[in-house]
Structures are given as structure tokens and as C-alpha cells.
Amino acid sequence: MTKVGFLFPGQGSQFVGMGEDFFQENPGVRDIYKTAEKILGFDLAEISFRGPEEKLKQTQFTQPALYVHSFIVAHLLQERGVIATEAAGHSLGEISAFAYGKAFSFEEGLELVRERARLMRESSEKNPGSMAAIVGLGINDVMELCIEARDRGIVQPANYNAPQQIVISGSKEGVAAVMNAAKQKGARRVMELPVSGAFHSPLMAGAVENFGIMLQKINITMPVIPVYANATAHPASSPKEIRTLLHHQLTHSVRWVETIENMVKNGVTRFIEVGAGKVLSGLVKRIDQNVDIMQCGTVEALGTFSLK
């Protein structure tokens, strides 16, 4: 039996119009967006479908839009008999993965996402920073550059996306120092990312305490399938650990390469990117070319999956 891993995307995968095709075709999807509007206090469907792009890019809108969209796609895949045996999510997508694994309800997950987005936005405003992608250098090389640049400012690897694709995060001075050093070291590409803050770095520390309080209010149970955490690259082992891992995720690195490698070691041979964009599909191809990777984020893509 083929083991299937669902992968849930994070910020950067959003696009204006995401989810509208499902909304037009499925009354159940319209009900989900109505529920989301009640929880969030704004019309998520309107922002997701109409934008404008600059508004959808804002953290407080991006994160709920991606979470709701991924939940809908996963639900519709399940209706077609496509069910994951394991799951993981990139950054924000980790909450989507735990919701899919039934560690908490859709509604509680959305409340977490709303609070996470608000706190991350506030931390970004209080402690401005930046992020950059470095392509063509190994993990150890980027780690060394970050260590050497710490006298210039806060900077650390934020996302271990692929063997030679690392995202760094921190103060503007620290990130700029590593970008310059990476170019001198021969990186193929060094690009500052269009994000509103230094996610997955110590500059998010201001969000941690209040997010921990929110996590204590959520009823968390063991997932029905293994759900891999960003901070450890291994499945969570208890509800207590899930709280700790989601808490730490704000300031810790996303260990995506190890996550995919560990899922493959556990027998996953087919991955499905559940939601917007194709970012994770591209990363999986760079990590392991021997596995199948599919993407489902539109009605058209959903049609390629067989019905029961």
C-alpha cells in the first residue's frame, strides 16, 4: 500500500483568486468561508478572491487565507478517497497539518492562526527585520556565515528548505551582512524576500508569550496520523509536546529537508501539496527525486484525483 504524505504550504504560496473556484462549485465550501468570517471578523472570501494582492500579502490576511484554503482542499481530497498516512506543514502550514490530523478542530485552528498572525505582525512592527534566500551554498556554510555575522546583528537560518536553499532571518543589518558574505563565497543566488518581518528568528520573541497563552486555551489531542513538527523534523509524541512545538516554532528554524527525509524513511513514497502554489513541490524535488509529488489547489487539479 502506497504511503501518502500531505504537505501544507505557508506564507509565500498565496495568490489572488485562491479558493474561488471551490467556492463557486460547492455549497459546503461557502459554509466554511461563512464560519471563517464569523471567527475572523472580516470577509476572508472577498480578500482571498479579489485581493488586491498587496492586501492579501499582509500577514493577518495571508495566514488565515492559506489555512482555510488548505483545509478545504484536504476535505475535498478526502471525499475522493485520497487520505494521508502522514502530514507536515511548512511554517504556518504546520497548524494546517495538525488540524488535518485532528489534533484540534478547524475552528480552534483558525483561532490559533488569527492570533499567530496578529502577534507576528505586532512583533514585526516593534522589531523590524528581514529575510533572505541563499541558493547554492550548503547548510553548514550558511550556518558559519550567520555565526561570523553575529557582531553585525541578529541573524540565523530560518528555513532549511532544500540542501542548497536556505532562508536566513534576523535584523536588517545581520541579514545584509550574511547576504554580502554569501555572494563573496560563491552563492548562485542571494535574494532578499518581500516579507513584513524576521519570521523564525529571535525577533519574534515578543509574540511567543502571548501565543503560549492562546495555545493553553485550545483543546489539543493526539493526531490520528503522524504529524511532523518544524522544530524537530519528527512526529509530535503528545498533546503537551504539540503545544511546545507550536510555541517554539515562532523563533526556531523550519527543518524542512530533514522532515521530508524522515517521512521518506518512514515509507512515504507519494507527496501531495495540499493548497495554494507549488513551492513545496519544488522543494521536495530538490530533496528526493525518487518520490512522486503532486499538487492540488484548484478544482482543475482536484479533478485529476480519482473518485472513490
pLDDT tens per residue across span 50-108:
999 999 999 999 999 999 999 999 999 999 999 999 999 999 999 999 999 999 999 99
Q: 262-299 burial, b if ≥16 CB within 10 A, otherwise e?
A: bbbeeebeebbbbbbbebbbbbbeebbeebebebbbbb
Nearest to 293 by CA among 307, 272, 262: 272
pLDDT of residue 9: 97
- Cα dihedral sign, 5-100-102-250: positive
Task: Tell me how far apart the alpha carbons of residues 4 and 25 are, in angstroms, rounded to a whole number.
Answer: 27
All domains of the chain in start order, with CATH: 3-125+202-302 (3.40.366.10), 129-192 (3.30.70.250)
The model's pLDDT over 229-279, given as tens digits with 9 standing for 90+, comes to 999 999 999 999 999 999 999 999 999 999 999 999 999 999 999 999 999
pLDDT of residue 195: 82
How high does pLDDT run on average in the chain?
Answer: 95
Asked whether residue 306 carries a pLDDT value surpassing 80, the answer given is no
Q: Where are the beta strands (DSSP E) in the chain?
A: 3-8, 86-89, 130-135, 155-162, 165-170, 189-192, 227-228, 268-274, 292-296
pLDDT of residue 308: 56
Asked whether residue 31 carries a pLDDT value surpassing 90, the answer given is yes
Asked whether residue 190 carries a pLDDT value surpassing 70, the answer given is yes
The percent of residues above 70 in pLDDT, for the chain, comes to 99
pLDDT of residue 69: 98
The percent of residues above 90 in pLDDT, for the chain, comes to 94
- Confidence label for 307 from pLDDT (cuts 50, 70 and 90): low
- Confidence label for 24 from pLDDT (cuts 50, 70 and 90): very high
The residues assigned a catalytic role are 91, 200
pLDDT of residue 2: 86
- Asked if 23 and 52 touch (Cβ cutoff 8 Å), the reply is no
Q: What is the gyration radius of the CA atoms in the chain, in angstroms?
A: 18
Segment 19-26 shows an average pLDDT of: 97
